[in-house]
Amino acid sequence: MTSSLTYLWLEAKRQWRNRQILIFRLGFPIAVYLILNATDSDAPPSNPGGTMVAIAALAAVNSGLAAGPSLGDERANGWLRQLRTTPLRPSAAVAAKIVVAMSFALPSIALVAAVAGLVGDNEGTALGWAQWLRLVGLMWLATTPITAVGTLIGLTFGGEAAHGATTLAFVVLWLLGGIFTSPDNLPDTLAAISRALPSYGVAQVGESVAGGQALPAAALVVLAAWTVGAGALAALAWRRVVTR
Amino acid sequence: MRIDIDKPAPIATFDGVTRRYGHVTAVDGLWLQIQRGQTVALLGPNGAGKTTTVELLLGLASPDQGVVGLFGGPPADAVAAGRVGAMLQDAGLPPWARVAELIGLVRSLYPQPLPLQDTLRLADLEQIAGRPVERLSGGQRQRVRLALALAGSPELLVLDEPTAALDVDARRSFWERVRAYVSAGRTVLFATHRLEEADAVADRVVVIADGRLLADGTPEQVKAQAAGRSTVSVAADGDLPRELLERLPAVETVRQDRGRLTLSTSDPDATIRALLQHAPHARGLEVTRAGMEEAFLQLTHQEGATP
């Protein structure tokens, strides 16, 4: 147990030390929010929480997929094989990557929500403190399946391919996953896909909190299914990746 | 042949192990036992199957046929129990970690690790313990990788071409460090393509080529097996058929190279007498006593030539 924590702690220190990645992970969603806020501030929000929830979900995707390139690089340079010669359990290694990605997702989501509360025209200012905390906390927990997807991508594609696959997943979740547009605006097939994507679940959780409604059961099922499915596949991929 | 030290139970066994990658048979019916306390060199030319053998032993590859055993069970169990430490060929280190942090990680994974200071001292890393991995030189990285293999104080240390990137001085001090670690009854298996390294470091040498075991014994025994060979070289003329040369007495291999035919022979006198009898016009004859490296190459080529 302590050995798993040591690995987790080292992973966290390593990734938080990289300033460039830190700026990208925390700064990018804020920049997107500020741009959108400056361009369409007159339009009424189409959903509870409006732009704030959508961009907080974008922040969740952006940080949640972070394990992909990191694992892809470690797979390519042989570090994962080196770890495989030690008693480190594959499940502990995968869990650590997920937790570290989660450690980026929390401040990333919170910063978007904070900026929205400070400069946003409608949505963030309407929330009380308790609701704001609930929004950030629940959207953060809903990010778990996205971190599992990132881990799975990193273990399935090595090196450059992992970077490419992560970007592709990011674009798909952004454009199709209920962030860029609601599934209601999509044709039936795409709408069904959209509602089954984890980013849609994250956005749904945010909207329900912002709108003062109960958490949507369908979205929670989708999030749980992605967490279990991608997490289990990632643990399997860890074994396969390093064993020839 | 085997070395018997009171016949203790072997800690590692290859029982008829074969491993193929596509059409390439990397390890071909390997039978091998390694006893506790031995320092074993796995010697062979590039592409001989050394790395695959190491990977099979560590559970990083699984055999197509046969069984690999490590400490009486499957390799993965021995690895999970922290009985093995490994230095893989060209394994990278993760960036933004400091040297002492990586060693600390490995120490935390093993049940009875070496003290951190001992590990740093053994690998000569005391001065750079706080340095980030991305600012290390090649030689320093190599020492960190050795430290990671030693830090858990494993019973079996497995090193795959550990000195490939080092110069002569660094190589010598590397092996001094390994010896300092091994003294307490630990077992070492290292892969190398350098005969002199196997000779200097190991107390047992296992020679493989094309995935098959060619020789196994003390360095002296293996050298004796490889030595005692000479080469007879002759100008390659049209009326000198290769088949004839291959049938000459004591000839083991025939190579053709830049207009000359080179025969490896265990009895150059007999070979030359017979050659002149069959081909009285043969010209440009040269006889060379094989050096150690050449003899080793012949030993491996000879086996490689058989289908």
pLDDT digits (tens, 9 = 90+) for A178-233: 888 888 888 999 999 999 999 999 999 999 998 888 899 999 999 999 999 998 89
pLDDT at B126 over 50: yes
pLDDT at B304 over 50: no
Strands B260-265, B251-257: pairing is: antiparallel
Residues B174 and B197 placed together within one structural domain of the fold:
yes
Residues B45 and B81 placed together within one structural domain of the fold:
yes
pLDDT at B295 over 90: no
Per the CB < 8 Å rule, is A243 touching B62? Answer: yes
Per the CB < 8 Å rule, is B79 touching A85? Answer: yes
Residues B73 and B173 placed together within one structural domain of the fold:
yes
Q: What pLDDT is recorded for position A243? A: 67
Please indicate, yes or no, if residue B298 is contained in any of the structural domains. Answer: no
Residues B196 and B257 placed together within one structural domain of the fold:
no
* CATH code at position B186: 3.40.50.300
Q: Is the CB of residue A51 less than 8 Å away from at least one CB of chain B? A: no
Residues B93 and B193 placed together within one structural domain of the fold:
yes
Examine the fold and report which residue of B224, B249, B268 is the final residue of a domain before the chain moves on.
B224
Q: Which of A141-155, A191-205, B226-240, B259-273 has the lowest mean pLDDT?
A: B226-240
- A80-125 pLDDT, tens digit per residue, is 899 999 999 877 888 899 999 999 999 999 999 999 888 876 555 5
Question: Mean pLDDT over residues B62-74, rounded?
Answer: 96
Q: What pLDDT is recorded for position A111? A: 95
Please indicate, yes or no, if residue B299 is contained in any of the structural domains. Answer: no
Strands B260-265, B230-235: pairing is: antiparallel
Closest in B80, B93, B148 to A87, CB measured: B80
Domain range annotation of chain A: 2-38+45-242
Please indicate, yes or no, if residue B300 is contained in any of the structural domains. Answer: no
Residues B192 and B272 placed together within one structural domain of the fold:
no
Q: Which of B51-55, B190-194, B262-266 has the lowest mean pLDDT?
A: B262-266
Residues B114 and B254 placed together within one structural domain of the fold:
no
Per the CB < 8 Å rule, is A82 touching B86? Answer: yes
Residues B220 and B251 placed together within one structural domain of the fold:
no
Per the CB < 8 Å rule, is B92 touching A77? Answer: yes
Please indicate, yes or no, if residue B295 is contained in any of the structural domains. Answer: no
Residues B140 and B253 placed together within one structural domain of the fold:
no
Look up tokens 């074993």; give the residue. B40
Residues B243 and B201 placed together within one structural domain of the fold:
no
In whole angstroms, give the CA distance from residue A217 to residue A221. Answer: 6
Q: What pLDDT is recorded for position B90? A: 76
Examine the fold and report which residue of B202, B224, B246 is the final residue of a domain before the chain moves on.
B224
Q: What pLDDT is recorded for position A48? A: 63
Q: What pLDDT is recorded for position B6? A: 55
Give me chain A's average pLDDT, please.
88
Nearest Cα to Cα of residue B277 among B244, B229, B230, B243: B244
ipTM for the whole predicted complex goes beyond 0.90: no
Q: What pLDDT is recorded for position B196? A: 84
Closest in B60, B90, B108 to A6, CB measured: B108
Examine the fold and report which residue of B180, B202, B224 is the final residue of a domain before the chain moves on.
B224
Q: What pLDDT is recorded for position A66? A: 87
In whole angstroms, give the CA distance from residue B298 to residue A172. Answer: 59
Confidence at B306, pLDDT banded by 50, 70, 90? very low
Residues B202 and B281 placed together within one structural domain of the fold:
no
Give me chain B's average pLDDT, please.
87
Q: Is the CB of residue A238 less than 8 Å away from at least one CB of chain B? A: no
pLDDT at B130 over 60: yes
Question: Mean pLDDT over residues A62-70, rounded?
Answer: 91
Taking the CA of residue B86 and the nearest CA in chain A, the distance in Å comes to 6
pLDDT at B205 over 60: yes
Angle at alpha carbon of residue A90, lines to A79 and B189, rounded to 5°: 55
pLDDT at B129 over 90: yes
pLDDT at A156 over 50: yes
The number of C-alpha atoms within 13 Å of B170 and in the hemisphere containing its C-beta is 15
Q: Is the CB of residue A212 less than 8 Å away from at least one CB of chain B? A: no
* Total number of domains constituting chain B: 2
Residues B188 and B277 placed together within one structural domain of the fold:
no
Chain A residues within an 8 Å CB radius of B106: 86
Chain A residues within an 8 Å CB radius of B95: 14, 18
Chain A residues within an 8 Å CB radius of B93: 77, 79
- B133-159 pLDDT, tens digit per residue, is 999 998 899 999 999 999 999 999 999
Q: What pLDDT is recorded for position A11? A: 93
Question: Mean pLDDT over residues A131-146, rounded?
Answer: 94
Burial of B205 (0-12, 13-18, 19+ CB in 10 A): buried
Confidence at A45, pLDDT banded by 50, 70, 90? low
Q: What pLDDT is recorded for position A47? A: 66
pTM comes to 0.80
Chain B residues within an 8 Å CB radius of A18: 95-96
Taking the CA of residue B4 and the nearest CA in chain A, the distance in Å comes to 29
Residues 6+ apart with CB under 8 A from B20: B26, B64
Q: What pLDDT is recorded for position A189? A: 92
Check residue B115 and give left, alpha or beta (phi > 0: left; psi -120 to 50: alpha): beta
Residue span of the structural domain in which B215 resides: 10-224
Residue pair A126/A45 in contact (Cβ under 8 Å)? The answer is: no
Q: What pLDDT is recorded for position B303? A: 47
- B223-249 pLDDT, tens digit per residue, is 777 666 778 888 887 778 888 888 888
Residues 6+ apart with CB under 8 A from A228: none
Interface probe for A, chosen from B105, B119, B134, B136 (most Cβ of A below 10 Å), is B105
Per the CB < 8 Å rule, is A3 touching B85? Answer: no
Please indicate, yes or no, if residue B33 is contained in any of the structural domains. Answer: yes
The length of chain A is 244
